[in-house]
Structure 1
Amino acid sequence: MASAWKDLPEELSEPARLLAQELRTIKDAAGLSLSELAGRTHYSRASWERWLNGKRVVTEQALEALIGAVDCDAAALRRLWRQATEPAAGAIEDAAVVEETAGPEEPTEETAAEAAAEAEPADEAVPGESTPPTDEAPEPAVAWWRRPVALVSGAVLLALLLALVGLRISRHDGQASAADAPAPTAPAGAKPTPSEPACQAVGCAHKDPKTTGCGKDARTLQTQVIGKVVVYLRYSRTCQAAWAAITEGEPKDYAVITDSTGDSETALIHWGYDNYSAMLNAAGPSIGFQVCGFQPAGHDCTSTVADLASVVASTPIPIGPASPPPGTGSTPATATPSDSAPPSQAPPTDQPSPSPSAP
């Protein structure tokens, strides 16, 4: 269904504008409303409204979900996304060209011969030939190396030769230093995400889904919109664990995941607009899970879902993050879980911690 689109923001870059226009074209060609688009891709209606109106650039995961949900030119769409998200490459300096341009010209045989000719002493008298008389006083004899022309020519030739030798040595040293330089290593304090999940079922309870590797196959099973805020029920079939996520919120907004046994974890936004909670054990098929969101405008909850593994097995739910990543400068960090506070209680005490993007 065609839409009466708003004008895109004037400050939007040209690649981002072309991407937003292509997304609009794909949506209209598929005849989908925002709600239908959100249902097919499992990303909220509010997020698609921002992406289609150029308020934010669509995330790569949401783009892949769209490609899998509608008929479109996937290669062209991915190319537009890369152009809109990759920064322009900086100017690359060609050191060799700069050295050749700045350095002196290489001496040739002709220039060397000319310099040597100028450096030779004046012609001497040949025996047997008479020298015509002259009224001028004879010029005093001057050694050839003290004559100005010879001195300048010799200095120029020496400078050319030294410059050429120095240029070759500097190139050789530069190549040797580059070859001998050790390969870069990761910082000692870095914590890479494990290639395989580090826990499963009850072993994942109250642990971070990102640092354990459980976020790699995470899927969104339930969402609930509260004003502009969206809360998510997230699940990893590999780790058999579930957790809550919250996006589009503000500091002190939070979401709580609670299971039918009374266990819970909290995703509190400390700064930025999103966060996620620690995990709960979701191995038991009879255990139900619900996520509730809380903000000054009110609160609401998702439906309760049990046997999460069967839900994933019977539903084509795409793998991906719960939301677009936070703004520039945000760094991933472990979410601060609550002390098992049930959703009906007040939000947990705010602690200084960055708000990572939800896994």
Structure 2
Amino acid sequence: MPRWRELPEELDPQVREFTGQLRRIVERSGMSVVAVADRTGYSKSSWERYLNGRLLPPQRAVEALAEATGAGAHHLITLWELAERAWSRSENRHDVTMEAISVAQARAAIEEFAPEQGKRNGHPSEKAVKGAEAAEADRAAAPPGPERPRMPTAAATAPPTAPYPGAAPSAPGVPAAPDSSEEGRGGRRRMALFAGAAVGSLLLVAGAVFLVGTGDGDDGKPVAAPKTAPATTAPSLPRGVKCAGKGCTGKDPEAMGCGGAKAITSANLTVGTAYVEVRYSEICGAAWARITRAAPGDQIRVSAPGGGGGASVSRSGEVNTGGEAYTRMVSVKTIAQATACATLTSGARGCTDRTANG
């Protein structure tokens, strides 16, 4: 009877229940993981991930297991659907958490360079708001009198007038006597508030000019804006598929959701007693090599042409135990671009597009 690893503590309860059911079905069947892989068409390493809660199997794999063991497919698929929804919720929570962390880091970086006074992130600072509220309270509490301008205007160039009723007008060039009234103090507070806001705005503009530059070169001519790559939209991938094209090169096909029912065998041959395949996923735009009925030490390799006429790209794998192995993926544009080659410990060699016996 197989000895299972402890399931991850963070595993969702519905995923945990479904994985436990898979284990019980395998135990009752008396089959090893290798035998389950042979009967279902999914690799031994994939079933190890499924039965240890590291990866949720595709529906086709669950149906193949039910058929191979005689288990009730309807009940098992129902459990799989519940587990699949729980697995998706867990992935969404992870994505939202990572997005929130990124937003928090971006805000922290912006606030590090924001001015101490004036506006911050497009809104008045707390200090400015409190100052405005205090000035408004002073104005409301002041005795009735003529309205004084809140900001200097063109009227400042007009002939001097008395600052308040009964006061003598000040001579040109001579500052008026300090106003000790509540209205005067309120006016000074308002002027200080607006002056602080103006200084903050100037600092913000100066910082933007310093970071972006004036737009003129050393010869006084406008500098052309830097060329940026056109915005591209990431391709929409089916649920569970995590890469496409060049993004799949060097990655595990099962972990990226490219294997199982999403892949086909595009080429194959027999080398000695080993069975060699090229596995191709159109959704992922990638291929890999798989070898079964092999011995420990047998090697497998997948190759594909490099982009733009460059050197070919290849990935290799080696059989350890269980009689099978597969490589990581290489990006391909067509089903015929990938080639799988095997080198056995017996000395036999062969490739899907040619064979050679040594």
Same fold (TM over 0.5): no
Q: Scaled by the length of structure 2, what TM-score is found? A: 0.39
Report which of the two has the higher share of helix. Answer: 2
Q: Scaled by the length of structure 1, what TM-score is found? A: 0.39
Q: 1 or 2 for the larger relative contact order (CA 8 Å, sep ≥6)?
A: 1
